[in-house]
A and B are shown apart, each in its own frame.
Chain A
Amino acid sequence: MIKTGGQIVCDALVREGVKVIFGLPGGAILPLYSTLGSYPELRHVLVRHEEGACLAADGYARASGDVGVCMATSGPGATNLITGLATAMMDSVPLVAITGQVGRAAIGSDAFQETDITGATLPVTKHNYLVMDTRDLAATIKEAFHIARTGRPGPVLIDIPRDVQAGEIKFDEAEWDKPVSLRGYNPPTVGDVDDVAAAAKLINEAEKPVILAGHGVIISRAYEELRELAENAQIPVVTTMLGISAFPEDHVLSAGFPGMHGMAYASLALDQADLIVNIGARFDDRITGDTKRFATNAKKIHIDIDPAEIHKNIKVEAPVTGDVRHVLGQLNPLVANTTHPVWIQHIEQLKADHPSLRIRETDELLGQHVVKAISDATKGDALVVSGVGQHQMWAAQHYQFKNANSWFSSGGAGTMGYEVPAAMGAQIAHPEKEVWTFAGDGGIQMTLSEFATIAENNLPVKIAILNNDMLGMITQWQDMVFDKNFYANSYTGNPDFVKLADAYGIKGIRVTNQDALEGAILEARAHPGPVVIDFVIYADENVYPMIPSGQSVEQLIEENL
């Protein structure tokens, strides 16, 4: 059968189970867009900026567990994806980005809107392709999805010259049945039996064990296995910031998240443990601080699907490479049913002595109050997204997550502007669920063009702006690390966010004091469409606890006490 490149791309996407594409067309991808319309099973969400497309695909992927797909044209369209690709790369999110490229004959000639996007995205993609022959499209797309979703997931970019999209070939449907074969790509799944046994031995011998659960638990959906391990051996669980919602926070064994702005008791638990069972986390510098002083009393088990993470930042006694869920399945039967009453009692004491979540007494409206109120109102059941900054930390701290995979935030890249598009993606993945996003007045202005997309698609996202009229986290660093040398930190020209919402046809509410909090949240939840709430919060507030960058628990600051 004769098919165009565009048809092959669309067929391939349908076969990969793609339901939604976030994109914005341009000349170099128009041949593909001219076909897209005849595939009703592929819903195209037209964004206002390609960064929004990529971040929405990221939010969609995290929330659904499926590969997120975005599309852009060549040149500036493609380069606008880069921040989103870097975000997904850092947090191991499966994406496929399809970009148009100038015609083959023009490649290398500095043609209009020609950018070497495969060259430019080398460091921010798991893999990428420039497809130079229509005949290679089917196999390439299949390969791309395979690479994006298997092993340690990540973004894959496919750059397709416009004449390859338009090209017609005799296509044999048997092409689809050819299995993907990549000699150089064999991600581990099952853990080495001896490695697993060694890990089990350490767990069985430990007196003060702590589980450090990372994003890997969420990615491999190992919630049940994690819970089984924790409950069976009575091991307290701390999560990384991206591991939040891997373990129910109302569980007795839950001990918060450690690190730079984590709960003091969680950081102290790691410091005092004699064994850390790291499950799918990468000993990131926000957790370890000074690696030389990190958890020096503890032996360490590190379960990770990526062999390159083992011993990268922290040398461990018992590494296991493999898919977290598989490895836990192997490990759990070897772990003795036991308990550590003294240690668990000690952790409870740490929680009591270091009430990191206590909000200071004040009449002002604090960011913490807002998060807490939304957490209470939604009973910890919402899908929660955030931007980057102080509000992100307050959201991570004060929202009490009950359900697995309900927290989506840019951890590794710290991408301001994540809040609006990612929430849009999460809502599209779960139309029936309540989605709240905590936004900064800074970050939201990076991608608020997507208000239009939200309005257009009537996505009932609730956008809570924690508005301090400034780059709060920058102010905090200047305050604490740069001797109060405040500069370029305040936003005096912020728009009226309620009017702005109104301009987009989105319901806007302003809240300026604690008394109005509950009512506004109730009103927003009752509204069937999108809502922007401008929470005007007290600005002169720092996030605590804090372990300054590169330091250790010895430098833990707990000013809120």
Chain B
Amino acid sequence: MADIQANGLARRTLVALVENKPGVLARIASLFRRRGINIASLAVGASEQKDLSRMTFVAEGDPSTVGHIAKHLEKLIEVVDVADISDNNVVWRELAMVRVRATQDSRPRVIQLANIFRVSIVDVGAETVTMEITGDTDKIDSMITLMEEFGVEQVMRTGRVAMLRSALSPGGEDGAYSKTLAGNIIAREGLESGSV
């Protein structure tokens, strides 16, 4: 998941456990903005621990900065734990709701394709159907592309949620967070601030 894209930007996936207090998201957003990182997707929800929320980010930016962002996040007082899981063995899912035009004529084919992709139809209107797609980003992307032929009216995506895979044997260790990120880290270049 730590891919360098055609535009030279890197994407990394981070999971953070944060205090569920007002303003926490603003602090995190401020940090990303200040370090020049784009939040490509963000999913937030309650965790198994009281007062703590878990966030999954997909961060996008200059490879050196994105590789370092977990360490900057860790410094925020209200971030209890953070891991860059881009290079780990994780399961991740995203959910999308897609409203597609489905007229009398096209409806059977839309439903047929939905079935093939194991996508459920959650709402049916006179001229449209709304489907719920769960899966990895590729699956959602392909489904949306397939539906373009019929007319995609609205897309709503949750952003990725990710979790480390469990151990395969009882008593074994769950997929560990990479302890040191040194391997991912590329030091900055061109630091010239040009300031007096």
Q: Which residues of A contact B (CB under 8 A)?
A: 118-119, 122-123, 126-127, 130, 147, 182-185, 285, 288-292, 306-308, 310-315, 319, 389, 414, 473-474, 477, 549-550
Contacts and interface: CB of A to CB of B under 8 A. Distances in A.
Contacts of A315: 185-187
B196 interface: yes
Contacts of B77: 126-127, 147, 182, 184-185
A282 B159 CA distance: 35
A308 B185 contact: no
A123 B26 CA distance: 11
A122 B30 contact: yes
Nearest to A132: B22
B19 A285 contact: no
A291 B191 contact: yes
A549 to B, nearest CB: 5
Interface string B24-65: 001100110010000000000000000000000000000000
Given A183-B19, A184-B80, A549-B194, A291 B189 contact: yes
Given A184-B76, A315-B185, A549-B195, 11 more contacts: A147-B77, A184-B19, A185-B77, A285-B191, A288-B191, A290-B192, A307-B74, A308-B68, A311-B68, A311-B185, A550-B192
Interface in B156-196: 182, 185-196
Contacts of B191: 285, 288, 290-291, 313, 550
Contacts of B76: 127, 184
B72 interface: yes
27 contacts: A122-B30, A127-B76, A147-B77, A183-B19, A184-B18, A184-B77, A184-B78, A185-B77, A289-B192, A290-B190, A290-B191, A306-B75, A307-B71, A307-B74, A308-B75, A310-B71, A314-B187, A315-B185, A315-B187, A389-B196, A474-B196, A477-B196, A549-B193, A549-B194, A549-B195, A550-B191, A550-B194
B79 interface: yes
A389 B195 CA distance: 11
Among A130, A183, A319, the most chain B Cβ lie within 10 Å of the Cβ of A183
Interface residues of B, number: 32
Contacts of B194: 549-550
B8 interface: no
Nearest to A478: B196
B23 interface: yes
Contacts of B72: 308
B71 A308 contact: yes
Given A118-B23, A306-B75, A549-B192, A312 B34 contact: no
A165 B74 CA distance: 32
A288 B75 CA distance: 24
Among B75, B185, B196, the most chain A Cβ lie within 10 Å of the Cβ of B196
Among B26, B71, B77, the most chain A Cβ lie within 10 Å of the Cβ of B77
Nearest to A473: B196
B75 A123 contact: no
Contacts of A126: 77
B74 A308 contact: yes
A311 B189 contact: no
Contacts of B23: 118, 130
B68 A312 contact: yes
B187 A122 contact: no
A475 to B, nearest CB: 10
Nearest to B27: A122
Contact of B187 (A127, A307, A312, A549): A312
Nearest to B68: A312
A462 B15 CA distance: 54
B31 to A, nearest CB: 8
Contacts of B18: 184
A184 B79 contact: yes
Contacts of A119: 26
Contacts of B188: 291, 312-313
Nearest to A476: B196
Contacts of B190: 290-291, 550
A119 B24 CA distance: 11
Contacts of B75: 306, 308
B73 to A, nearest CB: 9
A236 B187 CA distance: 26
B141 to A, nearest CB: 34
Contacts of A308: 68, 71-72, 74-75
Contacts of B68: 308, 311-312
A229 B77 CA distance: 34
B196 to A, nearest CB: 5
Contacts of B182: 311, 319
A123 B192 contact: no
- Nearest 9 CB-CB pairings of A with B: A550-B192, A308-B71, A285-B191, A184-B80, A315-B187, A122-B30, A311-B185, A183-B80, A127-B77
B195 A123 contact: no
A380 B191 CA distance: 34
Contacts of B196: 389, 414, 473-474, 477
Contact of B26 (A122, A389, A477): A122
A327 B193 CA distance: 31
Among B71, B81, B191, the most chain A Cβ lie within 10 Å of the Cβ of B191
B29 to A, nearest CB: 9
A403 to B, nearest CB: 29
A388 to B, nearest CB: 8
A314 B23 CA distance: 33
Contacts of A184: 18-19, 76-81
A285 B78 CA distance: 30
A1 B113 CA distance: 72
Nearest to A285: B191
A221 B168 CA distance: 50
A307 B80 CA distance: 15
Contact of A123 (B30, B71, B185): B30
Nearest to A474: B196
Interface in B66-110: 68, 71-72, 74-81
